[in-house]
Amino acid sequence: MATRCCGQWSYRQAADTLYELCGIRLSPTTLGAIAQITSAELAIKLENNSVIRKAFQTAKGRVEFYADGTSIHIRYQDGTMEWREVKVGVFAKREWGASAFPWEWNTRKLPETSAVSAFAIIGNKAEFQEYCQSERRRLGVGGVSSTVADGAPWIWSLAESVFGKTDECLDIYHAAEHIADCSKVLYRDTETATAWFERMRMKLLSEGFSGIERELLALNGLDDDKQKSVMSLLNYFRNHSGRLNYCERLASGRVIGSGQVEGACKNLVGRRLKQTGACWRLERANRMLLICSLLYADQWKGCWNSST
């Protein structure tokens, strides 16, 4: 109970909640110590956890992989502090939904995920890649049907190293943000900029890179700043040209957004580790990330009850 509370709230809030709900009085410092010890025990229980593995393997749907990063405040032994990136990975299983047209991209109803497994660490790409490999083996994941991400090069590189070639998809919301930024440079009038943005987004959804390229290259008579913005947008999509198959994915009922990992960054990491004034020791942060990952993926019971 103490460790679970610590994964949901700050140590002080966890102490208050534990007392109010259970009548157990522990200091925030004691709760923090309990959480750190228990996290190490949970890591051992996770290594060969047949309950969680079976639940993931028997869940319906195909495996999708998502990855992203967010930063938290870290304090070192010498008193120095800095923001460090937390790399977050998510395996999700989901059945494909009904076929949809490009204009239905944000109104269609996708099936709910049947299983989710999340993990997160503060570390470099190599460390995160090793962690990703261990999580893949732990769940018995041979490969993934697709990788959906925000466009950071390290994510595509990592996915290929771990799973081999996958069906890669650039998150539609991040793609649209780049179009919106360009529209504001091209048009001062908000209404005109919005209309151009919506038309270009639909071109992207229906035709992928070929549609965007044709539209951008057709723009003539631009001043230097506008031309620079257009070429920047074109180069951005050119670098992701093989990841813009939105029309095909919509037609087959697949996801085109990385909301699964965006939610993990917000709810797994942000809600607990990015509270106002929070500053973490590196080891403590990584151990808390394990607790939060289990709670986020609803794997707490399967891990806690393990006899490993």
50-72 residue pLDDT tens: 999 999 999 999 999 999 999 99
- Spatial distance between the Cα atoms of 112 and 109, rounded to a whole number of angstroms: 9
Closest C-alpha among 253, 236, 113, 244 to residue 167: 244
pLDDT of residue 26: 95
* Structure-token match 């004034």, residue found: 277
Q: Please write the tens of the pLDDT for every residue from 213-269.
A: 999 999 989 999 999 999 999 999 999 999 999 999 999 999 999 988 988 888 889
How far does Cα 245 stand from its chain's mean position? 20
pLDDT over 80 (residue 201) = yes
Model-level pTM? 0.91
pLDDT recorded at residue 275: 84
The boundaries of every CATH 3.30.420.10 domain in the chain are 48-171+257-304
The per-residue pLDDT for 87 is 95
Rounded to the nearest integer, the mean pLDDT of the chain is 94
SS3 71: strand
Predicted local distance difference test score (pLDDT) of residue 263: 86
Q: Give the ranges where the chain is alpha helix by DSSP (H).
A: 2-8, 11-22, 28-47, 50-58, 125-139, 153-163, 172-186, 190-207, 209-217, 224-239, 246-251, 259-264, 271-273, 282-296, 300-304
Residue % of the chain over a pLDDT of 90: 87
**73-86 burial code (b ≥16 CB/10 A, e <16):** ebeeeeeeeeebeb
Tokens found for residue 76: 């070192």
Tokens of 307: 């006899």
Query: CA–CA separation, 59 vs 64, rounded Å?
Result: 13
Q: Does domain 48-171+257-304 sit in CATH 2.40.50.140?
A: no
> In the structure encoding, which two tokens stand for residue 34, read together?
């309990």
CA nearest neighbour of 67 among 244, 265, 235: 265
Residues 6+ apart with CB under 8 A from 305: 51
Q: Is the per-residue pLDDT at 308 higher than 60?
A: no
Higher pLDDT, 142 or 16: 16
Sign, Cα dihedral of 155, 160, 163, 168: positive
